[in-house]
Structure 1
Amino acid sequence: MMQKTVHSFLICFAIFATAFWVFQDNQAIPGERSHQTIAPQRDTDRLVFLLQYIGQDYGAAVGENGVINQYEYAEMLEFSQQAMDWYTALRSDQMVDSTFSNLQALRNLIKTKASWAKVQSLTRVLIRDLASELDIRTSPEETPSLAKGKSLYRNNCAVCHGLEGNGNGSAAEGLEPAPNSFLEPDYMNEATPYRFYNAIRIGIAGTAMPAYGHAFTNQQSWDVAFYLMTFRQGFSQQATNEDYNLTLNDLATKSNLQLVQEIVDPPGRRDNRKFQATLATIDYLRQHLE
């Protein structure tokens, strides 16, 4: 028992030490729990990750009747301002007017407590435009290997996130915030491999999640990112003979909900049986990438 306790402590210490080393420059990344003025991060991937975070997590801050979590809302306001500051620092005198205008529009949407759908839609436009403007690669160069992703996950991530992705690994006890669970359907259906890829490479400050950009190759990060998508409760596979003409970039950058909405006709009107069947097809395509 004592050996197990010491082992868990050493693992946690190593994780926190790594996280401290990676983020000692005090650059605020989504998840940091301190509202302070921070120097711009000259890193295009971090700017995109910030927008990904806003797009997926805004729903935890604002609901149909206004602010539902004041802390989360303050974080959204802070991060939307940081996105503008970081873009200005990155582009200086080469800013694209439409991109900066959209960043301003995003901040205004958040200040006026606009709907999650509007905020999410604009973050997606910004991420797409920034990828083109800053020449950011948003999908893997090679087809991800789920087998390799599983092995990397078990050897590096399961100690906190658990072998089944439920967030209760042997080193998870006492961590605050707790490690993410990848089982929750609503969260996972809004997630994308591209967001997981950035989280893996960059880490999440204010948590025990370190950056693996120095330990994994880009391809290995993609392997793990695609593997994480298979943890969702209800993940199933339904083979299809239909050609949905989905590219690897589509599967990397679009959430399950986005892909289903693009396939299901008419979009915006959910036939639950058709939705679940189409989701199972997306699961199949994510599992059979070759």
Structure 2
Amino acid sequence: YKAHACLGCHTIEDNGKLIGGPQSAALQNAGQRYNPDWVYRFGQNPQDFTVHNGEFLADATDPQLRAVIGYLMVQGVPDFQYYEPWTSPEFSKTDVGRGKVLYREYCAQCHGLTGKGDGPAASGLEPKPAIHANMPFDKLPIEYLYNVINHGGVAVGKSPNMPYWGLTIGQQGVADVIAYLRVTFKGIPEAASSAGSEPSAACVQPRKTAMAPNDYLTRTNPVPA
């Protein structure tokens, strides 16, 4: 909300105080006055509703727009009932095997196949990826695991190097990965060394495209000058 300059024109309640500019509609009670679907349509293209207004919000990505709407919908609603996605049907039909496949394809690139934080992409990251082998995932709150995987590290105050995976693997994928993490990593460092004989730095993703022709593979610049 603040990053997209909404405060420049709209007042909002923050820690019991009104902040922001009074040039446009007051939003401190937005949850009582606006329908979230309407706000979503407005955010996608403000110019459809009010000429020369809301152009900053139009630059937001879809996840950012949804986050802003969520923030607005709790304004003025002290007993707001938050949706808990970890109670959705996807979490009642998790599959550890599917979670393992997703972990190897996506998570292992940074965290390593055995959770040691030594995947092939880890060397270029600072701070370094979390060492899953040392983390007791079965004891971590489900809401924390969901938010860090679905929304990314920034959502829980962690490194922005941790991407948000919700749009990539979907809600069932998030649920399956959490199930795999809880079964596989119990916070015992030795578990990583006995998890398998494969080197943890070798995180080969399955090929989803056709291989380039051999004559292209030997060229330094395959695009004609």
More contact order relative to length (CA 8 Å, sep ≥ 6)? 1
Q: Which has the higher helix share?
A: 1
With normalisation by structure 2, the TM-score equals: 0.45
